[in-house]
Amino acid sequence: MTPSEAQLIARWDGHAPRYTSYPTAAAFGPAVGAADWAEALGGAAEHGPASLYVHLPFCKRLCWYCGCNTRAVNRAETISSYVDLLLREADLVAENVGTRLRIDRLHLGGGTPNMLAPDDLRRLVEGLADRFDFGTLTEFAAELDPETLTPAWVAAAGDLGLTRASLGVQDLSPEVQAAVNRPEAFETIIGAAQSLRRAGIFSLNLDLMYGLPRQGVVEVEATLQQVLTLRPERLALFGYAHVPWMKPHQKLIDAAELAGPADRFAMSRAAHDLLVAAGYEAVGLDHFALPHDDLAAAARAGRLRRNFQGYVTDACEVLIGLGASSISRTPDLYVQNVAVERDWRAAVGAGLSPVVRGIRLSQRDRLIAAVIERLMCDFRVDVDAVAADLGVPLAGQLDFAAPTLARLSADGLVSHRGGLVEVTGRGRPFLRAVAAAFDPAVPSTTPRHARVI
């Protein structure tokens, strides 16, 4: 008998990573650290242009839902001195690379990058361009808070070549906003979008959430109806991850006001249907893009990628992360900077690498990572073809996934024929559970992660 929607939710709405990487950050440890990263940087240029991520851990206010590494700061000197140290960390990276590394993508994340004063923004971007080769830069993106976005910041960003901006919206209901400490008028978002477009920044993404306290289908649809009047090129619709054991400030949210799995499922599905009806293409699990956008084009062509910024078109094999908590990678290595800003400042100020943990990928890790990425991006994977492309022997490597795949297949969530695994239409909301079938670490790490739906 075909299981009902309620039965599927009960069976498969467990805890699972978001799989912005494999192995996930939960697997990083002190056995891999600064010396490993310095050695890897010595060969970074051999992999072609790299991506550069800069973490700015500052916000005007602390939103209670936030899962990022950030804090509320209102002192300009604190932020300006952080920029000084970012450039010193860039010097350390450049010294280890040994040549002027070409950068294809630059992403400012946070936190709130527009907490930087315009002069500090210029100093940061121009300083990075002095240390790296920006001659082939194809994308410069930043995550922005509309509440603190000023005309002067937009003008500076436009002059520096910002190509894409992500505006944090989450939900426009005053009741929901009050429950998560993020008041924000729609007029503010309209003004931010118009200001960015006047400055020549024509690719806009809006970040939205479902599953917030006091939120239901009505609130989600009302928010979407408003933001669709701006016709952003992309929208990201994330399920709120309530993990107060990892983010203590989330304890300020009344858990009794959070929706249950069935209501979260209904919100996600209603949003999907509304956005597709409005002309957006669904991209992966939780992104939507207009057909002409390069994210939609990459999804159609099978070129979509997934990294710590979510779904991207970034094909660079090397990612360099600067700032407290930033993660860097090469094809066979992940490393992470110390997350505590004070400790990051101390290390960089002393001329030391702030990298404190990481993981070196085995052949099996690389195989699993590629399988999970293709599932997360394409909803299907040919395991045999992935193994052949990587030159990794397949025999016995993924046998552990067979029992879970059999159960997923029996429930109609996947089609499984030999090495070809395809997620069905009914299974797409449970994509992370499907990906987790290929993750041998899930049984021991599930309490760390948010729920699937």
- Please report the pLDDT score of residue 443 as a whole number: 65
Is 90 exceeded by the pLDDT of residue 445?
no
CATH code given to domain 1-19+363-440: 1.10.10.920
Beta strand pairing status for 333-337 and 355-360?
Answer: antiparallel
pLDDT digits (tens, 9 = 90+) for 79-118: 999 999 999 999 999 999 999 999 999 999 999 999 999 9
Which ranges of 214-360 would DSSP assign to H, the alpha helix?
Answer: 217-227, 261-277, 294-301, 341-349
Q: Which two tokens stand for residue 383?
A: 């395991």
pLDDT digits (tens, 9 = 90+) for 230-280: 999 999 999 999 989 888 999 999 999 999 999 999 999 999 999 999 999
Q: Which two tokens stand for residue 328?
A: 């860097």
Backbone φ, ψ for residue 188 (5° rounding): -65, -40
Q: Which residue has the tokens 């960089």?
A: 348
Residues of the chain with CATH 1.10.10.920: 1-19+363-440
- Please report the pLDDT score of residue 193 as a whole number: 98
Please, which residues bridge with residue 416 across strands?
421
**This prediction's pTM:** 0.95
pLDDT digits (tens, 9 = 90+) for 375-416: 999 999 999 999 999 999 988 899 999 999 999 999 999 998
- Please report the pLDDT score of residue 9 as a whole number: 95
Is 80 exceeded by the pLDDT of residue 444?
no
* DSSP class per residue in 103-170: EEEEEEEES-GGGS-HHHHHHHHHHHHHHSB-TT--EEEEEE-GGG--HHHHHHHHHHT--EEEEEEE
| Stretch (H or E) spanning 172 | none
> Would you tell me the crossing angle of helices 118-131 and 151-160 to the nearest 10 degrees?
20
Is 80 exceeded by the pLDDT of residue 157?
yes
Query: pLDDT band for position 282 (50/70/90)?
Result: very high
Cis peptide bond upstream of 429, omega within 30: no
Is 90 exceeded by the pLDDT of residue 227?
yes
Residues of the chain with CATH 3.30.750.200: 20-322
Whether CATH 3.30.750.200 fits 20-322:
yes
Is 60 exceeded by the pLDDT of residue 2?
yes
Percent of the chain with pLDDT over 90: 91
pLDDT digits (tens, 9 = 90+) for 308-326: 989 999 999 999 999 999 9
Q: How many CB atoms lie within 10 A of CB 381?
A: 24
Per the prediction, the chain carries an average pLDDT of: 95
- On the CB side of 240, CA atoms within 13 Å amount to 32
pLDDT digits (tens, 9 = 90+) for 178-191: 999 999 999 999 99
- Please report the pLDDT score of residue 131 as a whole number: 98
- Please report the pLDDT score of residue 418 as a whole number: 85
Q: Which segment, 67-71, 262-266, 444-448, is predicted with the most confidence on average?
A: 262-266
- Please report the pLDDT score of residue 450 as a whole number: 77
Is 80 exceeded by the pLDDT of residue 446?
no
